[in-house]
Amino acid sequence: MTEPVSAAAAAANEAIRQASPALCDLLSPLGRRVVFPNDIPFQAAQARGKTFNATIGQITDGAGGALPLHSLVSGLEAMDPERRNRAVLYSPGVGFPSLRTAWRSRQRRGVAAEVPSTMPFVTVGLSHGLSLLADLFAGPGRAVVTPEPYWGNYRQCFEVRTGAHLVPAPSIVDGKFPPDTFARALESLPSGEPAMVILNFPSNPGGYSPTQRERQQLVASLVGVAADRPLLVLCDDAYAGLVFEEGVPRESLFWELIDQHPNLIPAKVDGATKEVSFFGGRVGFVTFPFSPDSEIAAALESKLQCLLRAALGSPVAVSQQLLEAALTSETLEAEIEELRRTLGHRCEVLKQALATTSRELLTPMPFNSGCFALLELPEELGLTSEEVRLHLLAEHDTGLVAIAPRYLRIAFCSVSAAALPELVRRVELAVRELRR
């Protein structure tokens, strides 16, 4: 029986078959499913060189230059001989112990000592951490609830890679975040069947983080789900701390979910990419809610290390050393706070610009954090986001990310505050030109 694949994968498979039928027959089930998707990296490549490029979610000066933290880049010049030696040799398969200890200390700021957490396992970026958890806990037919709309790489990590079934949960209903959305998405699942839920706050692509009351309602709804089934709650904390409004907690929901119910197991994926503005470093971490010296922590670490070694050998040594040096800096947190204020200013400028747009053309979704804002095209316009994206590229020298069927994502992290009003004007103009 032939396993179903996407139309794009089928086209790639046919191209291989035309050139080499034998090679096509040799493809594994995963080999047949994979094909590079037409999502963010593809769309960002098309937007390269445009005056306004609001596609990739990396923090820049607005003109493509980095906004590195001094505590991080100074390590490139001032690396002591011992650290330099570690940087050019293999890293331990689980990451350097001193870095894991330092990151755990940073993770646990404000967390009570009795709340358990493992020693963070070092991964090669956060996507790698997600893939490791997908390999461990997803699989053919396993329900994985994702916010809708969601970051496209969830599909590759969970559905394409493992054969899991993505179950969308609306992230905005009538202009608000519905705290019970993940529980509702699982209502049709047979009782007792294991499932996963992905929490991504601040969110990508939406740029939203729940209020304290919404968080409490969300936790309660997930505890209710766990009363009926084993539930892994994956906290994708890529944008941890980048919150810009008072009354919206900055801390990860991971800590609130620990010990809420025996069937509810949170897992945390975080890293230096956004938290320390180290996009090229590719240092991520996976953390579980167990004591670091427990047998279950050792067993999970063994499984993760096996998966990492099978794909990559060991994590990158030099970027671990740079991050560890930065974590010892007395000025690091002040530098991170200054970067947060920069993004917060851009967020506010974007909100002001969007407040003047016609709701007949664009509907901004609520955003208060992270690096993104999401716009919805009204259904009555008869337009798709891909049509608008391509028109912006061709006619307005502007790149955004299209998310089917009618969402446009603005990465305000990579656009200067001064440029955001003009970017919004061009988006509205493009929609006006295309409206049917």
Residues 366 and 300 in one domain: no
Residues 7 and 103 in one domain: no
Residue of 294, 296, 295, 285 whose CA lies nearest to 254? 285
Residues 116 and 213 in one domain: yes
Instruction: Please indicate, yes or no, if residue 242 is contained in any of the structural domains.
Output: yes
Range of the domain at 27: 1-35
State which of 296, 327, 358 marks the end of a domain: 327
Residues 248 and 370 in one domain: no
Instruction: Please indicate, yes or no, if residue 72 is contained in any of the structural domains.
Output: no
**CA dihedral for 389, 392, 395, 398, sign (positive or negative):** negative
Residues 240 and 358 in one domain: no
Residue of 86, 108, 109 whose CA lies nearest to 97? 86
pTM score, whole prediction: 0.93
Residues 231 and 349 in one domain: no
Look at residue 3 in the predicted model and tell me its pLDDT: 67
Residue of 404, 374, 413, 395 whose CA lies nearest to 38? 404
Instruction: Please indicate, yes or no, if residue 68 is contained in any of the structural domains.
Output: no
Within 10 angstroms of residue 241's Cβ, the number of other Cβ atoms is 19
Query: Per DSSP, which regions of 315-414 are E strands?
Result: 363-364, 372-376, 398-399, 401-403, 407-411
DSSP-based three-state secondary structure for 220: helix
Residues 309 and 359 in one domain: no
* Count of domains for the chain: 3
Look at residue 2 in the predicted model and tell me its pLDDT: 56
Instruction: Please indicate, yes or no, if residue 64 is contained in any of the structural domains.
Output: no
Residues 286 and 316 in one domain: yes
Query: Per DSSP, which regions of 153-230 are E strands?
Result: 165-170, 195-199
Residues 276 and 180 in one domain: yes
Residues 229 and 359 in one domain: no
Tens of pLDDT, residue by residue over 24-71, are 888 878 888 888 888 888 999 999 999 999 998 889 999 888 888 999
Instruction: Please indicate, yes or no, if residue 217 is contained in any of the structural domains.
Output: yes
Instruction: Please indicate, yes or no, if residue 62 is contained in any of the structural domains.
Output: no
Per-residue pLDDT of the chain (436 residues; tens, 9 = 90+): 456 788 989 999 998 989 888 888 888 788 888 888 888 889 999 999 999 999 988 899 998 888 889 998 887 677 788 888 888 889 999 999 999 999 999 999 999 999 999 999 999 999 999 999 999 999 899 999 999 999 999 999 999 999 999 999 999 999 999 999 999 999 989 999 999 999 999 999 999 999 999 999 999 999 999 999 999 999 999 999 999 999 899 999 999 999 999 999 999 999 999 999 999 999 999 999 999 999 999 999 999 999 999 999 999 999 999 999 999 999 999 999 999 999 999 999 999 999 999 999 999 999 999 999 999 999 999 999 999 999 999 999 999 999 999 999 999 999 999 999 999 999 999 999 999 7
Residue of 205, 264, 287, 196 whose CA lies nearest to 239? 205
Q: In DSSP terms, which residues pair with 60 in a beta bridge?
A: 66
**How far is Cα 373 from Cα 184, in angstroms, rounded to an integer?**
25
Report the CATH number that the domain containing residue 213 is assigned in CATH. 3.40.640.10
Instruction: Please indicate, yes or no, if residue 69 is contained in any of the structural domains.
Output: no
Q: Which amino acid is at 63?
A: A
Instruction: Please indicate, yes or no, if residue 70 is contained in any of the structural domains.
Output: no
Residues 404 and 285 in one domain: no
Report the CATH number that the domain containing residue 386 is assigned in CATH. 3.90.1150.10
Residues 265 and 355 in one domain: no
Query: 249 preceded by cis ω (within 30°)?
Result: no
Tens of pLDDT, residue by residue over 173-200, are 999 999 999 999 999 899 999 999 999 9
Tokens representing 432? Answer: 């006006």
State which of 271, 295, 327 marks the end of a domain: 327
